[in-house]
Structures are given as structure tokens and as C-alpha cells.
Structure 1
């Protein structure tokens, strides 16, 4: 039947995504050597930005059309830290994170070969940069707060059409919000969650 051919054609020209996800992004957790130790490099977002000004983050951004998620992480890192492609080496990947605001963030790990002191970051995007030794993060317990999300149903919701009506057992989700406190820096939210995921992964490595 022609309809089957039309369905097949539609499927062949559709790029699948996770249902309900409206945006995709990639970040890179940059590793850099300082004083004989491996550090994680963090950025503080420029104060004039409309979105999350002054917050601590990793380099990253929206995945552009026809771009692989790993390419986004590398491109954004080079743009924000003014690095050459050859100065950032991708060394691995963590679990992606599905946020509470309909975005998937792909998390990569990369090594920066330029010295920290010679990084001239892009002031249009970054206010400042700093690093934290892995040896410190491994012994720095994060504070984790578990936030429950609750469904708010409209007044005209058709309760009579579902089992148990208004007593239906809608499931709530629990969303972790993570904080790290280091020196005078507060690393929190998704950046802290990604940091924790990475530290948990390498926790059995001797430093």
C-alpha cells in the first residue's frame, strides 16, 4: 500500500529524539594540570549575560544543526576560553542529564594542554575562571537537597475519565540539587551535579 511507503519515507527523514525534550546541549568538564596536580577548571559567567549572569559553570552550549554533541563541547570550550582546537583533547564521556526544564545535556571530559595562567578567556561570555584540585573535590562532600516536583492539574481536568478520579496516584519526581562549597566559591545546580558524577566515577583512583 502507498501509505506504507509514505510512512517509511517519513521515518527515514526523521531524526529521533527523547520525547518531551525541547533542547539539547553539551558541556565539557576541563581538566588541567597546575602545581603538579590535576584540577577541574570552572568558569564564572559574564555579568552582562541575560541567562544566569555570574553563575559558575562549565564551557558548553546548544548543539547546532548537523553538529555532533562532542563537537559542540569542544567548539564551545575553544570559543569561551580562546583555545586552539589542538589544545583541547576529548578523553571521555559521562552520563547525559535530563533536566527538569526539558533539556538533555551531554557531558564530556577533556584535557587542556595550555597553562592556566596563559588562558585569555572570552570576556564577552566569561567573567573569570578558577580551578579546584581533584584531590580536594574527592574529599569535599557535597550538600544534596532533594526537591519534589508536583503536578498541577487544571481545574477542567477530566478526572471522571481516569481510574480513581481525583484520587488517582499521580507520581511525583524527586530532583537532586547539589552544592559544593570551596574557598569563597559556591558551585551548585547542574554544574555541581556533573562534578559529583565525575568525582563518583573516579573515586577509586589513588591520588
Structure 2
């Protein structure tokens, strides 16, 4: 599965070079890391659960990452710095492959996801100031698209959707689930679409 990952993201190397060569500024932008473990037969994707005491998106599942800071030379630096701060993932332990298409959150923040590979046995510790947990979900589970519902979002002149999954006591939904679908469809031709027998929940 990792060879397919590398092959299908190979053309993204030019985009990666362009991003790391752009000094910004990246006002109102953020970056996250879609990190897969290096188990070729069944890689897992690292996810976090935001702390319940946070003022925004408390308790939600997300990728490691956060908003761009002027100290970051580029958006990849943002994703790596935030991942280190949040879960103790050192930048040198990440084999960065390519960025995915940037997308906007409901609050209008432009987020660029970066795909990378990390050692399967890496020890990660969630920062209690920001997170309640760090966990991983198998790519094989996500490819089965066993969603519990489909969420439809209508925000001003925009409309988009995302599945919602339950895994090991966590609910994966919203922006995070949308990025996962983009990743799975682009890399593994998963064919995950809005049409599904699961119940529909409408926002907006």
C-alpha cells in the first residue's frame, strides 16, 4: 500500500518544492500532517482528539497541525512544527511526500494537508494543553467506508459534504473526514462519494 502511495503522489513533488520555496506570508492559513505508519500491508493514519477544555473545536478529532506562524518559513514547516508540539513527532522522523489540495474550513481558514510516512513503532505523547488523545486508524478501515452518517454543509454560497465514522470510541467527521476522503480517492481510487445508505445530517 505504501508503494502505491508513493507512486500516486509522485507528481506532487513539484508542488512540494513550490510550497517550500514560497516564504509567504500565509495569513489566515494553516497546515496539517496526514501521517501514515510504515506498515506496508496495513498502514495507519495518525489522528488526535482535541482537548475538551479548548474554546474552539473542543473534543473533535483532527490531524496534527495548526495555524501558520510568522516564525515558519513555509506551510510545511507549520505542519511539522505543530506536529512536534502536539504529539512529540520530530520533523526528521517524517518522510514528507506531497501536499494535498488545500481546502477551507467553515471559519474560512485555508488549510493545506501534507502527506508523510512515519515509523510504525514511534512513541507519541499528546500535549495535555491541546489534546486529550493521539490514536491511529487503519487505512483498510477507512477504505471500507462504513460511515455512520453523511453530513451535508451549506455555508453561504458553498456546499460540501463529509462522511462520519466511529472507530475505537472516536468519531471522525467534518473537516478531518473530508480530507481523508480526498486522500483516499486520490491515492487509492476509493470511489467514496456522497451517495450512501447511511442517514444524512444537514448543517446550515
1:182 is displaced (CA, Å) by 2.4
- Higher Cα Rg: structure 1 or 2? 1
What secondary structure is seen at the aligned counterpart in 2 of 1:73? helix
The normalised TM-score by structure 2 is 0.71
* Equivalent residue, structure 2, for 1:154: none
RMSD over aligned Cα, in angstroms? 2.5
1:203 is displaced (CA, Å) by 2.0
Q: Deviations over 1:45-103 (max 9, x none)?
A: 12222222211110111111253011101111111111222112211111000233221
Superposition pairs of residues 61-76 of structure 1, within 5 angstroms: 61-65=66-70, 67-76=73-82
For the pair 1:45 / 2:50, whether they are aligned, the reply is yes
* Equivalent residue, structure 1, for 2:141: 136
* Cα distance change, pair 111–16 in 1 and its aligned pair in 2 (3 A): closer
What secondary structure is seen at the aligned counterpart in 2 of 1:175? strand
CA distance in 1, matches of 2:87, 2:68: 18
1:16 is displaced (CA, Å) by 8.4
Counting matched residue pairs gives 165
The normalised TM-score by structure 1 is 0.70
What secondary structure is seen at the aligned counterpart in 1 of 2:43? strand
1:109 is displaced (CA, Å) by 0.8
* Cα distance change, pair 173–133 in 1 and its aligned pair in 2 (3 A): same
For the pair 1:193 / 2:198, whether they are aligned, the reply is no
CA distance in 1, matches of 2:125, 2:106: 34
Instruction: Show structure 1 runs of 5+ residues with no match.
Output: 1-14, 151-171
* Equivalent residue, structure 1, for 2:127: 122
For the pair 1:109 / 2:115, whether they are aligned, the reply is yes
Instruction: Show structure 2 runs of 5+ residues with no match.
Output: 1-23, 191-204
1:141 is displaced (CA, Å) by 4.4
What secondary structure is seen at the aligned counterpart in 2 of 1:115? coil
* Equivalent residue, structure 2, for 1:158: none
* Cα distance change, pair 204–45 in 1 and its aligned pair in 2 (3 A): same
* Cα distance change, pair 123–53 in 1 and its aligned pair in 2 (3 A): same
1:200 is displaced (CA, Å) by 0.7
1:135 is displaced (CA, Å) by 1.3
